[in-house]
Structures are given as C-alpha cells and as structure tokens.
Structure 1
C-alpha cells in the first residue's frame, strides 16, 4: 500500500515505544536527501533511524544495515550535529494523520542552557523534505531548499515560519464523527473508496479500498448509490479503523505474490488474489525495510537478467522467422511426386508425340483419370521426362534436408523457450549463473574468459514440504531439472511437468509412502506455477513415476521422453511455503 498517514501513524507509535527517552549519539548524512541517526535508548541499545526525503522512495524506519558516511559531512549534517548531537528525544508526534513526523529533541546550547528543537520529516513523494526548526517553529535549515520560484504555497528556507500547507482542504479522519462520514458518503457521486481517500487526510486509495472490501459493499457503485444500510455500515467500519489507528492497534504485514512483495499495510490485508500470501511482522519498520529490500532484489534481478532476456528474445524471434520460412519451403516440396508421375507417364506415352507439342494428355494409370502434362516443345519426350525426374530428385533432396533443419529449429525453439521460462523463475543473482552457462555451452552467447573455467554454482532447486510431509523439489533451470530427475529422484518418486509448455521439473520424494490426493494437487500446482502457463486459469500437468522417464539422446539438459503417464488440471498458484535451508 502507499506510504500514507496510517503507515506513518504506525511508525510514530513504534518510534515512541523504542526511541523516546533515547539520546542521539551519531548523525550522518549518507545521501544528499537521507539522514541516519544512531539513538542510544534508555535500555542501552543502539538503534539506527533512517530518514529519507528521496522523491521516489521517501521513508522513515528503524533499520539494521547502515550506509557509509561521506568523508566530509554536508553543511546540513554539521548543523544537526551541533544542535542535536547528544540530545534527548522528548517526543515523537504526527500532526493529525498527515504524512509528517516531528521529533522534539532537548539539547544544551553553547551556554549550557536547555532548549528544545524539532526535526521534521515530511513523507510526501516529490515534495518530501527534512526540516530543522527552532523552538518557536521557525525554519533553521532544511535538507532541500524550496524558494518561491518552486512553490507559491510555502517557502522552505532559513528564517521562514514553518507550517503544513493544506492545499486540498482534506479533513482529519481521527476527529470525524461517524454521522459526518455517513453524510459525506451520501453526498458523493463517485465510488466509496475514492470518496474516502479524496475527503480525508492520510487515507490512500489502497487503505480506502481495503475498508470498503471489509464492509462488503459494492466498490463500483457511487457512494450515494449505496443503500442507507450499506452507507451506515461503511461509515461505522471507517470509524472503527480510525479508532484502531488512534489506539495504536496495528498489525503490520507484507503481501507476497510468489516471492515478490506486492503490497504492505499497517493492518491485515483481506483483498488479495488466491495465489498471494500475507506475512505478519513485528514492527512497521520491519515491514518497510523488508518490502523495499525484496522489491529492490526483484528489480535488481530483472536488470541483471535484462541482457540474457534480450539475447533469448532475439534468438527466438530469429528462429520463429526461420521456422516459418522452412515450413513454407517444405510445403513447396510436396509437389515433387507430381513431377515423378509426369516423367513416368512420358516414358510410357511419349511414343505418341510427333515433336513440337506443348502438352500431352493421357490417362494417369495411378488414378485412372485423364491428366495433361505441360511440355517444352523444343525437347523430345525423353528429354522432357528427364527434366521432370531431375526436378523430382532436387525437391526430394530439398525435402529431406529441410525436414532435418526444421526439426533442429523446432528443438532450438523449445530449448530457448525453456531458458526463457528459467529467466522468469530466477529470484537471485546466483540463479542466473547456470542459465548463462547453458547459453554459453550451447553456443547462444560467446564464451568470455579462460576456457574450462566455470562460475561457482550456489543456486539450488526450490524445496517445499507438502501438507502431508512430502519433500517437493522444483528445478530453476534445465541443469537443475536434469539433476533432480536423473540423480535426486529414485524410481518410485513422482515427476510432474506442464504438458506441451516449458516449465520446471517437480520431483516428489515419496520415501516409500503412498502419495495422497492432496500431495498430487499441491505438486501439480507447483508444476503449473513454475511454467510458462503461470498466468493461465488452469494448466494441464503430466505426472509419472520416475522409472518411466528416459533421456532424449543428444537433446538439451532436462528434456525427457515417456510413453505412459497420467494427467491432471492444476491451478497455477503457490500453495506451500518454501522450506528453510538446514
């Protein structure tokens, strides 16, 4: 969900519990728009508070990992060290439900007198800022200066009075009575979620949609078009959520789809697809750090694999064009038998020709029908027959060569499609190592570096444990598929694979036990999820015991043949949690 007022409220609650009463022992400006404060808490723990006013990723969170400080501290950092270094955090507050956090810090000045100054972080997208205030609410300095040329609403410059602009005229939801919420809904001609997010401060479209979903009302109807009972229920649900916010009753969580985080929230998320899973966490900081770290990992993997994706995509486009041309040429060779028949008929009926004819009409003794054979009037019957036999021989040789070439092109396409699916499955940088090795080994990309040296492989297959306790392994690429099927699996273990589409091999280790229906369903779902058909409603899955599988001679790794199998229809979704490595 968005970094909205409710997310900020959960962070303020956490900061108050963990940081209030602590002393600021270190201040570092690790980026031009980011601060890291080390706070020594009353229980003598050192906690790192990260405050970022980055336009694309503003955040505030207690983090474990720090960044190196620049050798020369920027002026803003030096100013904060002078006024806040060693200071006592007296309070941490949020005005209303604004995306803003105020840190009031008590500190002694050069004369030894106690005074209080305030550090404010505004988490407002491209308008985010970190502002340092005096005790009379005047701006001492800010990490970003905003002159009147950039904003006609508010200047953020030293010496200017500080205030939070209310440019959209929204209402503080924490102070709104339930009856007023009902009247707002009754007067709105837009859907309820949009009504709530556009009327109240700090309410994002995501949390508004969640509240509407919890209320069970029609999210597409205009708010005023809802029944009176529905509006009453929705107003009550909204008020109840605001009471939980005021009471600090948060339950931070991250929503994952597969291995990728797709949303986060200060409250449990109920509106999500069946193949998603919600992971609860101890603090809002943990949610923020985990969400952006995992999103960053996913983004980095996509960037790292971009060159491989491009190579595979270009090769596939080239092969599909080549296959189309080969198939057209192969279709043209189907008329070869016509020329053979022409030659044979000319050898049989050519004695009837006097010379100079442009055609010969005779009976085709293969079909019993009359046929007209075009002739070169400058050639004899025997010469025309030889010409047709030559054309037949050429087309026959072409057909034989094209049949081999077409089969090879189809095999290469199948191989590249399987590699493309492996790239979609890759979650970590080490998962790309074997894919790059395979592309190199089969000549799709050039080898770089000394021959014979291979990158160290640390990637391992996915490991899941079924609801009934069966170990299930999923190959991330063709090499792992080969390893799982022909080395990890034994004869009585079960093998699953998507039918007629590229995908991972799924191996279920039975350990001599009888497979349950639930285990078959879960293994089928894994095979569907880790296949090219992941986004389909259902995928047909072939499954067979390992002893029925055979390698394809001369084929790429992971390609198998089988003559006896069972099939099932599986919904592609991740039903199981990945097992932890021991």
Structure 2
C-alpha cells in the first residue's frame, strides 16, 4: 500500500447506500476535511482525480510519453497521471504491449494497447499472474499476464495471485528481518568481546609485577636479620641485579619474615591472576574469531541458511532460545546443503555456507582422501574437492577450489589470497571447539585472486540438489 492508500470494508444497504464497517487506516474529520473513514460512517468515495477512465481516453492523452524511452519509469508515470485506475505495473504492461505491437511507444499504439488490455480483463480473456524475480519469488501481481517481466506465472484467480505474492513477500520480509537481527546480535557480542580484551589487557599490566614481588620477598628473607622491626621501608642489596639497592615497602606491624611471606602471597596471587587472564584472553579471542566466521556466513541471506545460523547461535549460547514448536510437536530441523559445483575437470567441489555446515562437510561427509581447502588466517568456508576414484586431482581443479575458498571468505575483495590445501585426513577438531573451528597440517599454500569473471564461470556449473546427493 502507498502512503495515502487505504482498504475500506463497506456494507451495501438495501437503499443503495454504503456504510463503513472498518478500514485499514481510520481517518477522522480532524484528519481530512473531505471525508471521515470510521466504522458506522456512510461511505464516501475518495475525491475525484484529474484522470480519465480508459474508455474516455484518446491518443492525445499520451503525448507526454517519450517514444524513445520505452518502458522507463518516466513513461510509466506519464500514463499513470492520465489513466484512471492505473499504477506503474499496469502502465509498464501497456507500454510493453504497445512496443511489441508497433515497435515504439507512440500515443496511438499506447491508446490501442490500453483499450485492448482493459477489454481482455473485463471479458475474462486474461488470466491473473504474478511477476517473478531471478530466484522465482513473486514480487508483484496483476489481473492480466505480466508479459513485461522476464518471468511470470499464470494463476487461476486473482485471489490465488494475491496469496502467492503475500506468501513470498512475507518470506522475503522474514528473511531480511532475520538477517538484520542476526547481524545485530553478532556485532553486539563482538563489541562486548573487544571491550573485554581491553579490560583483560589492563588487568594483565596490573598483574605484571609478580616477578618483582617474588624477588623482593626472597631478598627480604635473605636479609631479614638486618631489617629493624617497625620499619615502613628498607633498602637491601639485590643479589639478582649485581647487588644494586632494592627498595622494599614494609608493613610496620610485621617483622621481616612476615613481610616476606606477605610479599610471597601477593606474588602467588598475581601469578594466578596472570594465568587466569591468559586463559580468558585466549577464550575471548577464540570466540571473536568464531563470531567473525558467523558474520561471514551471514553473507548467504537465504532463509534456509539464516535459520541454520540462528539455531547455531542458540546452541552456542549467543542467542536466547525461542520456542518454535507448533501444534505438531517438536520436529527436527532440516539440514541444509553446502554449495556444490562441478570443476572444469568434472570433479565435485563443495563449499560450506555456515559453521555447522562446515563441520558436517569436513568431519562427517567428506572422505579422508578428499582435498580440503581454507583461506589462510581469515574467516571463510570449508571447501572440499571430492576425489572419487581418481588417484590425482588436476591442478586446475585445485586452483578453482582455492578461488572459491578465497571468494567465500573475508578476503574475497583481495588479490593474491593465501589458501591452504591438505587432505581431509590431516584436518581435526579440538575437543570443545566452536562449530567451524579446525586445525590442520601437511598443507601447501596457493595464492589466488578471486576475480569475478572466474568465480562466475565456476559457479555457473552449480549442481542440482539431486546431483549432489548422487555424486558419492
């Protein structure tokens, strides 16, 4: 609906009048001097527009259309401004049919196309249809064939077309909303982890004096007999530093040995603190690297992938679990499939789309003799070349797989991207590691540039889902 659009449900009365039952947008008398749109108020049509119904139009009404501009937005609006009951979709269709008939958007051909389209719809000779985008999703509907779109599908009724459009539009809205929510969640956690690293760095600096405290305690123990009781500080020769004077602050209430024990305890406490900080820092960096991988996976905005990423974040504790059980009880979520492509030499190359998929691909589905690839030292997808019965995999196929590994990573816009290659048997997952995390050895490194033309050439050989399941 447009900014000033409304949907009004009215009751047709026996005396010919119409009474408003309700409306999508309620309009009071204060909001509009022309008419109120409220329940129980008599229905008054909107104010007349300076437009003509199609049967009253003449070719001269379309002189504002530029014949050389085809179905441009400007030409669409030139028709919308003259023809009553017409929006941009209908105007585009009229222009398309006029051009198909005569080769140009001349006023006479536009007039003829508008009359013919209106008559065909009125007489039921045109089926309703939905216009489809590149992935087959409905993006608009009309009570006629949308021949002006590269792809459209006919429907038995206009109601079916509307249901189709709203179903696909609703999915698209869910998809974009989920993508935004997941990205916001991931970035918020990453910001918190970066803040934690800053705090840990400060705590590390505070705990760095552990070695100094231990030396003071040992020197104080060695020279305890020279320290007068009740002293608040003392200077003693530091035998760890060529007997240079070492100033030691004391608690006057304690003797030298008790002060040394106090310093030993402080040193031990700071040592434990450093060990804890070091472990926390490593865990924080690991979580940060994991979330960078998740952020990379969100580049695939298909609803199937986004739902799997959502479940992954819930399982890892970064997102609160939501109760998504329906009336049928708990159902196991369907596992999505990795990308699958055919190399120039006929080998199957699989690319994980998220961390959970990466784990399944590498540790459950791949053969130990398959080749495994990953961009070096950066977030990215696991890539597997299926060896099948081949003894060797051609270098061209390996380079194509490396190009995909670079493209499906944070380095996709870089040149000379390092990509490591090894056999799957040399890849392992540490106990307790996050999804997608892997260690490997016996690798060699290739340097590739994921040029768009090369990537598109490889991805044009995408395997259908049945092919991917039959390839093993």
The TM-score bracket by the shorter chain reads: 0.5 to 0.7
Alignment of 1:286 onto 2:235: no
The answer for unaligned runs of 5 or more in structure 1 is 1-28, 34-72, 85-92, 101-121, 133-138, 145-173, 175-255, 260-282
Q: Pick closer, same or farther for the CA change 1:140–1:486 going to 2, 3 Å.
A: closer
Q: Pick closer, same or farther for the CA change 1:377–1:492 going to 2, 3 Å.
A: closer
Q: Pick closer, same or farther for the CA change 1:562–1:141 going to 2, 3 Å.
A: closer
**For residues 445 and 545 of structure 1, what CA distance do their matches in structure 2 show?**
34
Q: Pick closer, same or farther for the CA change 1:391–1:32 going to 2, 3 Å.
A: closer
* Deviation per residue, 1:137-173 (Å, 9 max, x gap): xx574748xxxxxxxxxxxxxxxxxxxxxxxxxxxxx
SS at match of 1:541: strand
* Deviation per residue, 1:17-67 (Å, 9 max, x gap): xxxxxxxxxxxx99999xxxxxxxxxxxxxxxxxxxxxxxxxxxxxxxxxx
| 1:557 corresponds to which of 435, 438, 441 | 435
| 1:97 corresponds to which of 47, 51, 68 | 68
Alignment of 1:521 onto 2:399: yes
SS at match of 1:473: strand
* Deviation per residue, 1:283-336 (Å, 9 max, x gap): 9841899xxxx9999897444300010000000000111122112212332220
Alignment of 1:441 onto 2:315: yes
| 2:337 corresponds to which of 452, 455, 460 | 460
Q: Pick closer, same or farther for the CA change 1:299–1:32 going to 2, 3 Å.
A: same
State the partner residue of 1:581. 465
**For residues 417 and 288 of structure 2, what CA distance do their matches in structure 1 show?**
21
More strand by share: 1
- Asked if the contact 2:53/2:85 (under 8 Å) is kept, the reply is no
SS at match of 2:207: helix
| 1:487 corresponds to which of 352, 364, 367 | 364
State the partner residue of 1:154. none
- Asked if the contact 2:54/2:84 (under 8 Å) is kept, the reply is no
Map 1:325-474 onto structure 2 (within 5 A).
Answer: 325-376=199-250, 378=252, 379-424=254-299, 426-449=300-323, 453=330, 456-457=333-334, 459-474=336-351
| 2:383 corresponds to which of 487, 499, 506 | 506
Map 1:149-228 onto structure 2 (within 5 A).
Answer: none
TM-score with structure 2 length normalisation?
0.63
* Deviation per residue, 1:200-222 (Å, 9 max, x gap): xxxxxxxxxxxxxxxxxxxxxxx
**For residues 98 and 496 of structure 1, what CA distance do their matches in structure 2 show?**
50
- Asked if the contact 1:505/1:527 (under 8 Å) is kept, the reply is yes
Distance apart, 1:399 and its partner CA? 1.6
Distance apart, 1:481 and its partner CA? 0.5
* Deviation per residue, 1:415-466 (Å, 9 max, x gap): 2111111111x23111111101011111111111168945632531101111
Map 1:198-347 onto structure 2 (within 5 A).
Answer: 285-286=149-150, 301-347=175-221
SS at match of 2:79: strand
More helix by share: 2
Distance apart, 1:401 and its partner CA? 2.0
The answer for unaligned runs of 5 or more in structure 2 is 6-44, 58-63, 88-103, 105-133, 136-146, 154-167, 467-472
SS at match of 2:235: strand
Q: Pick closer, same or farther for the CA change 1:579–1:427 going to 2, 3 Å.
A: farther
SS at match of 2:402: helix
- RMSD of aligned alpha carbons: 3.9
**For residues 383 and 489 of structure 1, what CA distance do their matches in structure 2 show?**
64
SS at match of 2:308: helix
SS at match of 2:388: coil
State the partner residue of 2:352. 475
SS at match of 1:490: coil
- Asked if the contact 1:375/1:384 (under 8 Å) is kept, the reply is no
Alignment of 1:531 onto 2:405: no
- Asked if the contact 1:99/1:124 (under 8 Å) is kept, the reply is no
**For residues 437 and 505 of structure 1, what CA distance do their matches in structure 2 show?**
19
* Deviation per residue, 1:386-427 (Å, 9 max, x gap): 221121121122122222222221221122111111111x23
